[in-house]
A = this chain, B = another copy of it.
Amino acid sequence: MTGGGDCPGLNAVIRAIVRKAERHYGDSVIGFLDGWRGVLEGEFIELDVASMRGTLPRGGTVLGTSRMSPRMREDGVEHVRAAVESAGADALIVIGGEGTLSAGAGVNDAGAAKVVGVPKTIDNDIGLTEQTFGFDTAVGIATAAIDRLHTTAESHDRVMVVEVMGRHVGHIATWAGIAGGATLTLIPEEPFDIEAAVEAIARRHQRGRWASIVVVAEGARPKEGTMALPEPEIDEFGHVRLGGIGHAVAAEIEARTGYDTRVTVLGHIQRGGTPSAFDRVLCSWYGVAAIDAVHDGDWGSMVAYQGGEMVRVRLADAVAELKPVSPALYDVAKTFFP
């Protein structure tokens, strides 16, 4: 099953699982539909090598996904147990981010299903693995966008603020900020001082560089008391409106400096479409390793990428806390601050 938000490479993981399961182990594979919803309701389809053909480069997931969780239903874990049993499934491979994997750990520990996890999230915030799939693709998309914003910034001597994904950690912002040659990069791990940020941009202007790119993770927050934040906009359907912090930072920069400042919120284009070459390899490797873990009976494990090799860690440990950006890497970003 695939849970949580869309992420490039989901199909590539499924395809690899199915391939090795069918051809090497002689297994039959089924896929629960729409994340935990399908598991809770026992809705699934059969998967085989033929049906997964052509899906390696395709974004999305043939299984659909949702943000449903066993925790949202009364007796959720019992529904999972019943559905898995009724489907005749010997094991459950859970492909998802922190929420999906946590629920998977819970299901495994409750003995409701034998679970192996695969870490998916474009935010790259799962612990004990250097990289989750989808992240490399997201960084590539964000960098390509920043490349394009540079020339607009330069042609108009503008400050361009780019808000990228990253609610709790700033991996995408840090990587795309360095790769895109950002003037400043603001991440949740390190609350920012808007005054210092504005001074840095002004310092750059004094050196004759009028255009700046400021990359802001959507979860970046100012040091307390340094800057007013807008109330989060919640629309009539309960969605928090994206774009909050990017617009707030831009407004502060423009108000404090008078420099012409514009905002781009990259949004959903970071999470869809064909996976990068790296992500396709990582996903294929994850899928193969996940079905191997199933055949080793390594329940409650998550496949993880460490030091260029595939290893296994405990699901519960991996989701125990979000993985922050390496301070050494954020220092690389800072090397290029004015």
Contact = CB atoms under 8 A, between A and B. Distances in A.
A234 interface: no
Nearest to A145: B269
A108 interface: no
B254 A237 contact: yes
A69 interface: no
A148 B269 contact: yes
Given A251-B236, A255-B236, A277-B140, A328 B307 contact: no
Contacts of A143: 277, 280
Bin the interface of chain A by size: 35 or more
A154 B326 contact: no
A16 B326 CA distance: 18
Interface in A128-152: 130-131, 136, 139-145, 147-152
Interface of A is mostly: helix
Contact of A155 (B6, B152, B154, B280): B6
Given A58-B151, A152-B6, A181-B57, A278 B130 contact: no
Interface in A59-96: 59-61, 64-66
A265 interface: yes
A336 B277 CA distance: 16
Contacts of A254: 237
B156 A66 contact: yes
A262 B238 CA distance: 12
Interface of A: 5-6, 8, 10, 16, 19-20, 23-24, 56-61, 64-66, 130-131, 136, 139-145, 147-157, 160, 175-176, 178-181, 235-237, 251, 254-255, 262-265, 267-269, 271-274, 276-278, 280-281, 284-285, 288, 306-310, 326, 328-329, 331-332, 335-336
